[in-house]
Chain A
Amino acid sequence: MVRQTGGRSLLRSTAVTAAVIAVGMTAAACGSSAPNNSSAPNQSASTTAAGSSSASNPAQPATHTTVTFSYLWAGPEAAALEKIISAFNASQSAITVKGVSSPDFQKQLTSMSASKGSFDISDNFGNGVGSWAAKGILEPLDSYIKADNMDLSDFVPAAMDEMKYNGQIYSLPIAVHDFELLYNKTEFAAAGITDPPKTTEDLATDIAKLTKTDGSGNITQLGLGNPDTGTTLTTLGYAFGGTWDGADGKTPSPQDPANIAALKFYQDNIVNKYGAAKVQKFTAGWGQYMSAQDPFYTGKVAMVIDGEWQPVNIPKTAPNLQWGVANIPVPAASPNLAGTTQLTASTLFIPKNAQHKQAAFEFMKYLTDTQAMGDFTVALGNLPARTSMLNDPRYATIPQFSTWLQNLSSPNVHALASQPYSSQYSTDLVTDFKSVLDGSKSPADAMADVASKAKQYGSS
Chain B
Amino acid sequence: MARPSRTGRARRKTSRRQLLRGLAFASPWLIGFAVFIAWPVIASGYYSLTDFNLFQAPHFVGVANYRHMLHDEVFWKSLTNTLYLTAVGVPVGLALSLGGALILNRPVRGQPFYRALVYLPTIVPVVVSGYLWRWMMNPQYGYVNEVLRLLHLPQPLWLNNPAWSKPAILLVTFWTVGGMTVIYLAALKDVPRELYEAAEMDGAGPIARFWHVTWPVITPVTLFQVVVSTIAYMQIFTQPYLLAQQSQLNSANGGPENSMLSYSMYLFQNAFVYLKMGYASAMAWVLFIITMAITAVILMNAKRWVHYGNR
Contacts and interface: CB of A to CB of B under 8 A. Distances in A.
| A and B associate in one complex | yes
A17 B36 contact: yes
Nearest to B155: A281
B191 interface: no
Contacts of B43: 11, 14-15, 17-18
Contacts of B280: 19, 22-23
Contact of B139 (A136, A280, A438): A280
Contacts of A209: none
A453 interface: yes
Interface residues of B, number: 56
Contacts of A460: 51, 53, 276
B138 A135 contact: no
Given A18-B41, A434-B256, A11 B57 contact: yes
Contact of A285 (B141, B161, B235, B281): B141
Interface string A118-156: 000000000000010001110000000000000000000
A228 to B, nearest CB: 8
Contacts of B56: 135-136
Nearest to B251: A427
Given A21-B40, A24-B264, A435 B138 contact: no
A440 B37 CA distance: 44
Given A137-B55, A285-B138, A423-B273, A438 B160 contact: yes
B72 A135 contact: no
B257 interface: yes
B54 interface: yes
Interface of A: 8, 11-12, 14-24, 105-106, 109, 112-113, 131, 135-137, 228, 230, 277, 280-282, 284-285, 289, 352, 423-424, 427-428, 430-431, 434-435, 438, 440-441, 452-453, 456, 460
B168 to A, nearest CB: 13
A22 B250 contact: no
B184 interface: no
Interface string B237-257: 100000000011111011011
Contact of B160 (A19, A284, A352, A452): A284
A29 B120 CA distance: 35
A289 B246 CA distance: 12
A282 B160 CA distance: 12
Contacts of A285: 138-141
Given A17-B36, A18-B284, 15 more contacts: A8-B57, A15-B58, A22-B44, A23-B267, A24-B235, A135-B53, A280-B139, A281-B140, A281-B157, A282-B140, A284-B140, A427-B251, A438-B160, A453-B74, A460-B51
B52 interface: yes
A275 to B, nearest CB: 11
A441 B274 CA distance: 26
A106 B272 contact: yes
Contact of A423 (B139, B157, B274): B274
B202 interface: no
B176 interface: no
Contacts of A277: 157, 161
Interface in B136-184: 138-141, 157, 159-162
B272 A18 contact: no
Interface string B252-270: 0110111000001001110
Q: Which of A15, A21, A428 has the most CB of B within 10 A?
A: A15
B71 interface: yes
B273 to A, nearest CB: 6
Contacts of B271: 19, 22-23
Q: Which of B57, B271, B275, B277 has the most CB of A within 10 A?
A: B275
B73 interface: yes
Contacts of B160: 280, 284, 438
Contact of B47 (A15, A289, A435, A440): A15
Contact of B273 (A15, A230, A281, A427): A427
Contact of B237 (A18, A24, A427): A24
Nearest to B156: A277
B256 to A, nearest CB: 6
13 contacts: A17-B40, A19-B277, A21-B44, A105-B250, A109-B54, A136-B55, A280-B160, A284-B157, A285-B138, A285-B140, A427-B251, A430-B248, A456-B68
Contact of B55 (A135, A230, A424): A135
A434 B141 CA distance: 21
A441 B54 CA distance: 37
Given A135-B55, A281-B139, A21 B37 contact: yes
A289 B247 CA distance: 9
A441 B55 CA distance: 38
Contacts of A136: 55-56
B305 interface: no
B273 A23 contact: no
B210 interface: no
Q: Which of A8, A22, A460 has the most CB of B within 10 A?
A: A22
Given A136-B56, A438-B161, A456-B72, A106 B250 contact: yes
Nearest to B47: A15
B39 interface: yes
A431 B57 contact: no
B31 to A, nearest CB: 14
B289 to A, nearest CB: 13
A228 B41 CA distance: 39
Closest 9 CB pairs of A and B: A285-B140, A22-B284, A18-B40, A105-B250, A18-B44, A14-B43, A17-B40, A135-B53, A280-B160
